Amino acid sequence: MRNARWKAASRAAIALTGAGALVAGMALFLTAPAAAGTTLGASAAEKGRYFGTAVAAYKLSDSAYTTILNREFNSVTPENEMKIDATEPQQGRFSYSAADQIVSHARSRGMSVRGHTLAWHSQQPPWMESMSGSALRQAMLNHVTQVATHFRGQVVAWDVVNEAFADGSSGGRRDSNLQRTGNDWIEAAFRAADAADPNAKLCYNDYNTDNWTHAKTQGVYNMVRDFKARGVPIDCVGFQSHFNNESPYVSNYRTTLSSFAALGVDVQITELDIQGASAATYRSVVEDCLAVARCNGITVWGIRDSDSWRASQTPLLFNSNGSKKPAYDAVLAALNNGTTPTDPPTDPPTDPPTDPPTTPPPGPGGCTATVSVNQWTGGFVATVKVTAGSSAINGWTVTIGLPSGATVTNAWNANRSGSSGTTNWTNVAYNGQVGAGQSTEYGFQANGTAGSLSPTCSAS
């Protein structure tokens, strides 16, 4: 049953990818480049992905919070409201109001919902914590059935089982009351979820499974391979991706994502946060996901740093005051480029027109450039908007004088000469042609203080 659904879902994904490739290809041949997305959700959607966040129900009355939520994200995961202690605080008495509030907020705004989580050793209500054996097995399966049934049709993907593997070198299961009901408890939970909501994608979700060489990663991989071989209904694997000094991002992360995907499951980054919010690391994570066709979405674990379970590590994309951090700009740029910044798009048009458009002569209208700066202590990101005048242009050069002490460290969507003092920026292959009155954007990150920048633009 799940196989048939799975094929239909895959077909839809392929159709979407095909349309995306066509649009990306067309951009090369139009006078104006396709507008890059200006929010995380819109930009991810252009790549056939979602960009989500964990949401706490009690924050939905905070307008600063919902302004960012509604503007930037197209997927939500209830941070605590769907957990066992929240949904079944007393055995057989289910409580959905906080979770329903989040689901309704999301769905009324076109955002999808990830369900988190049906079966977990942690955040069990006291009645469940004290259970064991077949009574616990039955109670767990009933919980999965009841909750998945309540949210049927409203949750696109469920973290059916969360964090069932042990840390360290064993590569085996974590000890817990659920594990002690028998090693097959995980597949039993998946089968119950499948019966209750046949259309939801069913995921296994865990942390410290990012490094391909780690025993825990291999343990989960072997379980998923076994489930696929035996027809246990699993559709996806969630990588929480809480990166910090003890558990840092590693360059083999992309290998991990692609290796799991090769088993025939979707992969999703489900709880992303990065200690210190390095823009470069955030960018790498996004690029890794985009490089894997079955990595179909990214969720960050909170909106502002003050919303984070690890607030002191300032690991998120927005400052506590709601302003965008450099990591935000890096994520957005990575989503828009779809590959390493400054590289050309990887999706060549599959059917190039037989008569490529002839290059129009340079027009008399020239171009103008404006810059917006996101400054923080010790550095800034500048977003430069190049606008063609009364005629289409075929290329552009922007000159920006940087104040002393300001040094460019990183750039996207433009070629650069000079990293301090006078800097010159020219279009890359895919954003030189700009229609009359149309715009394109590039950006750079720099150390130091921007002050007031006055870019000039010349067209060719």
Query: Which residues does the annotation mark as catalytic?
Result: 163, 271
Is residue 80 near ligand G2I by the rule CB under 6 A? Answer: yes
Q: Which of 271, 305, 307, 329 forms a contact with ligand G2I (CB under 6 A)?
A: 271
Closest C-alpha among 239, 287, 281 to residue 261: 239
SS3 label, residue 65: helix
Q: Which of 123, 340, 420, 439 forms a contact with ligand G2I (CB under 6 A)?
A: 123
Whether the link from the prior residue into 117 is cis, omega within 30° of 0, is: yes
Task: Give the pair of three-digit tokens for residue 359.
Answer: 């290059």
Closer residue to ligand G2I, CB minimum distance, 275 or 374? 275
Is residue 81 near ligand G2I by the rule CB under 6 A? Answer: no
Closer residue to ligand G2I, CB minimum distance, 309 or 430? 309
DSSP string, 288-314: HHHHSTTEEEEEES-SBGGGSTTGGG-
Question: What residues pair up with 426 in beta bridges, in sequence order?
Answer: 397, 415
Residue nearest to ligand G2I (CB): 309
Closer residue to ligand G2I, CB minimum distance, 56 or 195? 56
Is residue 122 near ligand G2I by the rule CB under 6 A? Answer: yes
The binding track of 146-175 with respect to ligand G2I, each residue x by CB under 6 A or -, is ----------------x-------------
Closest C-alpha among 252, 249, 244, 288 to residue 268: 288
Cα(29)–Cα(23) distance, integer angstroms: 10
CA-based torsion, 153, 154, 157, 159: positive or negative: negative
To the nearest whole angstrom, how small is the minimum distance from the Cβ of residue 363 to ligand G2I?
54
Is residue 79 near ligand G2I by the rule CB under 6 A? Answer: yes
Closer residue to ligand G2I, CB minimum distance, 123 or 394? 123
Is residue 240 near ligand G2I by the rule CB under 6 A? Answer: yes
To the nearest whole angstrom, how small is the minimum distance from the Cβ of residue 309 to ligand G2I?
4
To the nearest whole angstrom, how small is the minimum distance from the Cβ of residue 303 to ligand G2I?
12
Cβ–Cβ under 8 Å, residues 155 and 184: no
Look at strands 242-243 and 266-274 and give their pairing: parallel
To the nearest whole angstrom, how small is the minimum distance from the Cβ of residue 240 to ligand G2I?
5
Single-letter amino acid, residue 303: I
Cβ–Cβ under 8 Å, residues 342 and 427: no
Is residue 208 near ligand G2I by the rule CB under 6 A? Answer: no
For the beta carbon of residue 16, count every other beta carbon within 10 angstroms. Answer: 15
Closer residue to ligand G2I, CB minimum distance, 240 or 445? 240
Residues that bind ligand G2I (CB under 6 A): 79-80, 122-123, 162, 207, 240, 271, 309
